[in-house]
Each structure stands twice: as structure tokens, then as C-alpha cells.
Amino acid sequence: MGLDDIMAELYAQDRKPTDETAEEIIHRLEEKKNFIPSSERVRRQYAYVLLREYRNYMKDRSGSGR
């Protein structure tokens, strides 16, 4: 399961793009043995980028009929 799969699941659950959603994405990536930086500063930046990507994912899907 990759990032696209995780985002698809969260989108299907109608999860909003919040800090909690970003942490959930990170948590799921960690479960799949993806490297996640341990530095708190870098982790916050990573969460920000993931949240931006999730917003883009939602925007792309809502524009295609949802």
C-alpha cells in the first residue's frame, strides 16, 4: 500500500484535510515501513507537504464527479 492507496482510503472515508489527517497518513506510511524523518521539525514539514498533497488529491477527485 502506497501513498495513493492511503489517500484513496481517507478520501472514501470523507476525511477532511486536517493536522490529524496528516498524522494518520504518516502513521499509515510508518506501518508500511516507509522512512519517516525522526526530527520533529522535519516531520512537521513532511506533514505539511502530505496535507497539501491530500488537498490536491481531494480537489482532483471532486472535480471528476464527486
* Extents of the domains making up the chain: 3-62
pLDDT confidence bin for 38, thresholds 50/70/90: confident
User: What's the mean pLDDT in 50-63?
Assistant: 94
Instruction: Give pLDDT, residue 64.
Output: 58
Note the helical H segments in 1-66: 3-12, 19-31, 40-62
Q: Which of 19, 9, 14, 24 has the alpha carbon at shortest distance from 66?
A: 14
> In whole angstroms, how far apart are CA 2 and each of 29, 31, 35, 51, 59?
7, 11, 12, 15, 19
pTM of the predicted model as reported, rounded to 2 decimal places = 0.84
Check whether 55 has a pLDDT greater than 90: yes
17: left (phi over 0), alpha (psi -120 to 50) or beta: beta
Q: Give Rg (Cα) of the chain.
A: 12
